[in-house]
Amino acid sequence: MTSSTGIVSERRVRQAMEEMLQHARETGRRPSVLALARQFSLSNTTFRRYFPAIAREIGQARAAPPDEHEGAQATAYDKLVARNARLKRANTDQRALLRLAAAEIQRLSLLNADLVEALEEARNVTPIRPRSR
- Structural domain spans, the chain: 1-67, 74-126
What three-state secondary structure class fits 37?
Answer: helix
Q: How many CA atoms lie within 13 A of 33 on its CB side?
A: 21
pLDDT > 80? residue 131: no
pLDDT > 90? residue 24: no
Rounded average pLDDT over 46-62: 90
pLDDT digits (tens, 9 = 90+) for 82-123: 899 999 999 999 999 999 999 999 999 999 999 998 988 888
More confident residue, 120 or 16: 16
Taking the C-alpha atoms of residue 96 and residue 8, their distance in angstroms, rounded to an integer, is: 28
Taking the C-alpha atoms of residue 2 and residue 51, their distance in angstroms, rounded to an integer, is: 14
Q: What is the pLDDT of residue 3?
A: 46
C-beta separation of 119 from 112 below 8 A: no
Residue burial 26-62, b: 16+ Cβ < 10 Å; e: rest: eebbebbbebbbebbebeeeebbebbeebbebbeebe
Rounded average pLDDT over 61-66: 74
Q: What is the pLDDT of residue 7?
A: 77
Q: What is the pLDDT of residue 54?
A: 92
pLDDT > 60? residue 71: no
